[in-house]
Amino acid sequence: MASFKSWYSYNSFSHHVRNKYRYRFDSETKLFLETVKKTAGNKVKHFAKGECLYRAQEGCDNELEFIEDINDHIEHEKPYCMERMLPNPEYSYEGRANPKGIAVLYVATHYHTAICEMRPWKNKVYTVARMDLNRDIKVIDCTRSGGRRLYFSTEENPEPKPRAMNRIVWSWINSAFSEPASRHNSSTDYVPTQILAEVFRSEGYDGILYSSNFDTKGDNLALFDKSCVTPIFGKVVNITKAEVDYEEISGPHASTKYM
């Protein structure tokens, strides 16, 4: 079976394309990308025509409604138009699966996940659109490998066995796509996953399914062709509560003076 050279292969690839050569690949990078292609076959997931996906955007439109009883207009919120909920290449920023100027449609498989991916806070307003697939699609499912896995090398076993090796490397790929993105991130942070996205796209896949770091109810899906969905309707939601769970990881000598 095809196998990566090392459990650390994704990290080596990421470092190379971010810090050395962006558009000219050395033999190690070429080998990594070829192994990605060969091992991607068992990561395929199919979505059927008619399945529902969801996309959230910050804000909404407003409209005036005339109320006859008070003889005046009242302003109220309404969802963005559905055209507004689809990506426009002119306004496409750097993303995990796209460079600036190339539109990729980022959606979620669950309504709640789409909202959580916006990193909402109390009283913030969002438009959430339901979008139905208008054809069958096949995507690379990075979620099958789960969260980031580590391997502790020993003299007897410097590398895991091939099957375990592939699971580890694909878990790092999943984590790379899932890592929260911001417009303030350096554009080089996106380069490794953008290259992988272009590889998947060139191999004929319709998108990439990857885990959400903000919600467990659904996953995220980056679709290369926005025309494979039909926007159905939108709703305006107001965030009534935002919760944060955490655990302390400070050492025993950390100061508690201000706690």
Contact of 89 with 102, CB cutoff 8 Å? yes
Output the six-digit token pair for 203: 């191999």
Whether residue 207 is contained in a domain is answered as yes
Is residue 256 domain-resident? no
Q: What is the pLDDT of residue 211?
A: 94
Q: Is residue 186 part of a domain?
A: yes
pLDDT at 183 (0 to 100): 58
Q: Give which of 134, 122, 119, 108 is closest to 211, Cα–Cα.
A: 108
pLDDT band at 247 (very low <50, low <70, confident <90, very high): confident
Question: For the chain, first and last CA: distance in Å?
Answer: 54
d(CA 46, CA 138): 4
Geometric angle at alpha carbon 1, from 7 and 156, rounded to 5°: 45
pLDDT digits (tens, 9 = 90+) for 133-190: 999 999 999 998 777 776 767 777 778 888 999 999 999 999 999 987 665 666 688 9
Residue 125 has pLDDT above 90, yes or no: yes
Average pLDDT of the residues of the chain? 88
Residues 187-213, mean pLDDT to the nearest whole number? 94
- The string of pLDDT tens digits covering residues 217-235 is 999 999 999 999 999 999 9
Say how many domains are in the chain: 1
169 CB burial (10 A radius; 0-12, 13-18, 19+): buried
Checking if the pLDDT of 72 tops 50, the result is: yes
For residues 251 and 154, the model is more confident at 154
Question: Would residue 247 count as lying in a domain?
Answer: no
> What's this model's pTM, rounded to 2 decimal places?
0.87
Q: If 0-12 CB within 10 Å is exposed, 13-18 middle and 19+ buried, where does residue 56 land? A: buried
**Bridge partners for 221 per DSSP:** 107, 209
Confidence of residue 248 (pLDDT cuts 50, 70, 90): confident
Residue 90 has pLDDT above 90, yes or no: no
C-alpha dist (Å) from residue 190 to 48, 93, 230: 29, 11, 28
Please give the Cα distance from 142 to 178 (Å, whole number).
10
Q: What secondary structure letter does DSSP report for 80?
A: P
In angstroms, rounded to a whole number, what is the distance separating the alpha carbons of residues 17 and 188?
8
Q: How many CA atoms, within 13 angstroms, populate the side-chain half-sphere of residue 4?
A: 28
pLDDT of residue 258: 45
Domain extent for 154: 9-238
207 or 255, greater pLDDT: 207
| Whether residue 86 has pLDDT greater than 60 | yes
Count other Cβ atoms within 10 Å, centred on residue 239.
14
> 223 lies in a domain?
yes
Q: How confident is the model at residue 94 (pLDDT cuts 50, 70, 90)?
A: confident
Q: Kindly report, residue by residue over 14-61, the tens digit of the pLDDT.
A: 999 998 888 889 999 999 999 999 999 999 999 999 999 999 999 999
Residue 252 is assigned to a structural domain of this protein: no
Query: What's the confidence (pLDDT) of residue 182?
Result: 61
